[in-house]
Amino acid sequence: MTRPSTHIRRLLGWGRTLARHGALRGIENDPNMPAPVKRLCRIARIGTVQPREPDYAGAFRAIGPAAIKLGQTLATRPDIVGEEAARNLLSLQDDLPPVPFAQIRASMEAAFEAPLETLFASIDPVPVGAASIAQVHKGVTTEGREVAIKVLRPGIRERFARDIATYEWAAAHLEALGSDEARRLRPQLVIANFKRWTNRELDLRREAASASELAEHMVGTQKYRIPAIDWDRTNGRVMTVEWVDGIKISNVEALVVAGHDLPDLAERLVLAFLKQAISAGFFHADMHQGNLFVQADGTIVAIDFGIMGRIDRRARQWLAEILYGLTTGNYRRVAEIHFEAQYVPSHHSVDEFATALRAVGEPMRGKPVSELSVGQMLDGLFAITRDFDMQTQPHLLLLQKTMVMVEGIATQLNPQINMWDVSAPFVRAWIRDELGPEAALADRIRTDTETLLRIPALVRRLEEQYPPRGGAPEPPPVPDVELMWERRERKERGRGLLGYIAAAIVGGGAMWLAAVQGWVG
């Protein structure tokens, strides 16, 4: 276990780095910041010269890899770091000087427990990219296929573990101060989620599995795909995927020269994100410009799946209704959803919260992203969280971050894009499919059918646990028992289906239909 003195010394060192970049001034001037934190900041900046303009991104980059990842996460949290810091952190790029190839080669051979020549015909020693966690080399397999090889930096797992232990220690002590602000922001939960995300990113098998899962979810999506995984050349420290030839989506000039339809690219990117987040509940949460390529036929190819987000079905329903409510001006319904989801404590007024939401959403309706944006909407929503005692929702942090990224890329491709106009038809259709009467009926049928199918196993367990007096009888032949249950289940399911259909038509169908038509029509 790390001693407290080690954590304090590490925090003071990071504090001095922040001070040299002018990044402590905002913390010291924040009226909601606990006094002990301000004292620690004053101690950390002793003997340093703070520039007039703070450079938060530069400070996090100078501290190291774990801080870079943390800074990118905090870029979506203006309620924690302030709007100025959040905007600056959005420029934080995850690129570092590469590790010499000799070290990479040794790490790969240790991971595969075999010479590289048995797996690859060649590997370019100059990386095509070097980030805080891993670097990527182009290679050719022994079968002649071009591939991208992602390799963890040597020692990176140990360094992340050390730094995150200090984050956890600091978060626990911040909450222990007992301030209302610390309880509302829940720093321990934020760091716990950050730790879980980075641990996934440090296991390249998990990243490969995420890419494979996302590819399944995106089957049928027009001109959007995920590179195939080479599982025979993938393990916890090395991941091999098919090589992607294309133009980085950030290179607008090259896209224009190649004849691509930029507004169409922007719209397809937004719809691909919505399909992932709302339809699948599993989305690529690192959709920055360096991780998206456009192929010659206009297909968008995503790479780097170390950071993925998940949203359960109920939260996706809330999200879809919130987005659609904001686009249509139904602020009352958006407010009700926040209370249903318990994002806002019940002692507050739904009507007052609806009015606060109107102040955020109304200025943005019908305007292009070049004037008002989803990012600004998030800033506005964060601004009212304190007034309504809204606690941090860690499961939505990655979603918020990704929304800002997608919006930034879409705006670069098409400055006149209206995110609301692009999103509304998709969200409306999803709500109709997921919350309409047919969906409710299907859920009821599915739930009760699954219950019926579990009855045979339950009965068998009861017979085994409580045999008849006089000892358990000889069991009948298995085929006869299975046939008996199959006939009984078929008969009961038929009765159940007819019953549910009749109940839906007579009792609840009209009410459901009226409600949904009023909402999505």
Number of helices and strands in the chain (H, E) = 23, 11
HSE, CB side, 13 Å, CA atoms: give it for residue 110. Answer: 10
Question: C-alpha distances in angstroms, 268 versus 225, 327, 399?
Answer: 12, 19, 18
- Tokens coding 459: 């009965």
Question: C-alpha distances in angstroms, 237 versus 58, 100, 163, 371?
Answer: 28, 16, 20, 44
CA 471 – CA 464 distance, rounded (Å): 11
Q: Which of 79, 163, 286, 304 is catalytic?
A: 286
Place of tokens 């200090």: 166
What sections of 186-261 are H helices per DSSP?
Answer: 187-201, 204-217, 252-257
Reference 405, options 93, 130, 134; nearest CA is: 93
User: Which residues, including other chains, have CB under 8 Å from residue 52's CB and lie 6 or more apart?
Assistant: 22
Reference 131, options 290, 251, 254, 294; nearest CA is: 290
- Tokens coding 160: 């992340």
Is 286 designated active site? yes
CA 123 – CA 66 distance, rounded (Å): 28
CA 380 – CA 413 distance, rounded (Å): 25
Active site members:
286
